[in-house]
Amino acid sequence: MCGSDDARVLGRRLSTSQGARPTRRVGVATTVMRCQACGLVYANPLPIPADIAQHYGGAPEEYWHKNEYLAAGQDFSPQIAVFRDVWEPRGSAPPVALDVGAGLGHCMRALGAAGFDTYGIEPGEAFRRAAIEHGVSEDRLALATVESATYEPGTFDFVTFGAVLEHLADPAGIIERVKGWLAPGGLIHAEVPSSDWLTSRIVNRTYKLQGLDYVTNLSPMHPPYHLYEFTRRSFELHGAGAGYDVVFVRRMTGRDVFLPGPAPAWRWLMSRTGTEMQLEIWLRASGSASGTPRGL
């Protein structure tokens, strides 16, 4: 993201869930690194699937299991509110949106209901089929990756990556590609895992106390196939060279803290220390609109 090659080794990550005693698990391990300049966490070597179907070719229920997202998705109204607050309209036409990694189409339907002219990209055939069955228009949802999709410059006012960038081998390159599709004043929204998450720090410490060099960061070789964890600075440093600004940031604790004891207490501690599970990042091309960066 930032271009620096100054990184340190955090530990090893298995190709399966590790549990409290990873030495009792069978699997292949890769090294997990943390960039000293921007805090990006990544695997080195980076396991990249031979084909997108290797990771996302199965049925949605196999990927999410019994997660409530299968049934209800998530409330996208806070993100729509931020867009309305930050975006500067070009005229009276409705904003044109692109949902990258549309999944089951929850976000596309929410955007459509809010008055957006909405399109989507979904690389998984089963996921795209499920989204269409859930009411997404077939001609609005392309079966494609970001790398293979083509759109004219200036097409979109809003591009959203909901839990997508951490799955891509080259998130920096993808952001630069998508930025070329934005209309003047357009916004890119991304929800990504934070490399400062308190739960990861605590679990990593328990491994260290056992004399182990394992870490819980990432899941590069098993669901949900996370290749990266980010910080705000990851985007700020990349944006300085790629021509965009971070205009809004929000930290989120996520659905579960994955720690023993009362979850509200852990959520409070995370919010006080800036160690929540996820980051919501809003980006805009440098010089395309006025305004100062906001957020936490």
- On average, the pLDDT of the chain sits at 91
Judge whether residue 232 has pLDDT over 90: yes
Amino acid present at 204: N
Look at residue 203 in the predicted model and tell me its pLDDT: 97
Look at residue 287 in the predicted model and tell me its pLDDT: 76
Phi, psi for residue 176 in degrees, rounded to 5 = -65, -35
- Can you give the pTM of this predicted structure? 0.90
What domains lie within the chain, and their CATH numbers? 7-285 (3.40.50.150)
Look at residue 293 in the predicted model and tell me its pLDDT: 44
Look at residue 296 in the predicted model and tell me its pLDDT: 47
The three-point CA angle 73-76-77 to 5° equals 140
CB 96 within 8 A of CB 117: yes
Look at residue 72 in the predicted model and tell me its pLDDT: 53
Task: Tell me the per-residue pLDDT of 158-206, one tens digit each, with 9 for 90 and over.
Answer: 999 999 999 999 999 999 999 999 999 999 999 999 999 999 999 999 9
Amino acid present at 64: W
The Cα–Cα gap between 93 and 85 comes to 17
